[in-house]
Amino acid sequence: MSERKIRVLVGKPGLDGHDRGAKTIAAVLRDHGMEVIYTGLHQTPEMIAETALQEDVDVVGLSILSGAHMTLFPRVREELEKRGMAHVLLTGGGIISAEDMEELSKLGFSKLFGPGTPTEEIANWIQSTMEERWKNEEVSR
């Protein structure tokens, strides 16, 4: 019988053509046994949220290097909520200052990863957070 897999959307919102990081993360998460839906570049918040809904993902990971995270991340969150997808685990990475991370954590991005983060750390955080969530779901069933 098939076990449940962590499904992750990896996407790049906005006008930012640097997808090396996103591709690296996608490959790392795959190598940790996750099913990664890779959306590619230039995604609007609506596209990201709609894809998350259609694919019934557990996690949305956003990569951004353009500096527009304070605009785009909250918009993604909004669009997800609009579609009843507030339960999705939100995370991301890129060039984001500590103050901005602090601000975004209040909006549901409980953990964001900056340059130099070992990829292992990101995969492990997603894995342990999801395992914890699923355990709680079991209990409440």
Partner 1 sequence: MQSASEMAERLLAGDRAALARSISWAENADPRYPGLLGSIYPRVGKAWRIGITGPPGAGKSTLTNALVAHLRERGETVGILAIDPSSPFSGGALLGDRIRMEERTADPGVYIRSMASRKSHGGLARAATDACDVMDAFGFSTILMETVGVGQSEYDVVAAADTVVVVMCPGAGDGIQAMKAGILEVADVLVVNKSDLDGADRLALDLEDAVRMRDIRRPRDLAASARWAPPVVSTSATGAGDGIDALLEAVDAHRAWLEAADLEASRRHRRVDQVRRVVGERLEEELWGPRGKREQAETLLGNSKTPYDVAEEILNSVLESRTGAGPDAGDRTSTPGDASR
Site for partner 1 in 27-46 (CB under 8 A): 27, 29-40, 43, 46
Bridge-based pairing state of the strands 89-94 and 35-43: unpaired
Q: What radius of gyration do the chain's Cα atoms show?
A: 14
Burial profile 66-79: b = 16 or more Cβ within 10 angstroms, e = fewer: beebeebbbbbbeb
CB 11 to partner 1: min, Å: 10
Contact 114, 100 (CB under 8 A): no
User: Can you say whether the dihedral through the CA atoms of 79, 56, 33, 48 is positive or negative?
Assistant: negative
Judged by beta carbon, residue 46 or residue 78, the one nearer partner 1 is 46
CB 107 to partner 1: min, Å: 22
CB 118 to partner 1: min, Å: 18
CB 129 to partner 1: min, Å: 17
Distances (CA, A) of 33 to 6, 51, 126: 8, 21, 12
Q: Check residue 96 for interaction with partner 1 (CB under 8 A).
A: no
The CA distance from 117 to 92, in Å, is 12
Q: Check residue 20 for interaction with partner 1 (CB under 8 A).
A: no
Judged by beta carbon, residue 30 or residue 111, the one nearer partner 1 is 30
Site for partner 1 in 50-79 (CB under 8 A): 50-51, 53-56
Residues at the contact surface with partner 1, assessed by CB under 8 A = 1-5, 26-27, 29-40, 43, 46-47, 50-51, 53-56, 83-85, 140-141
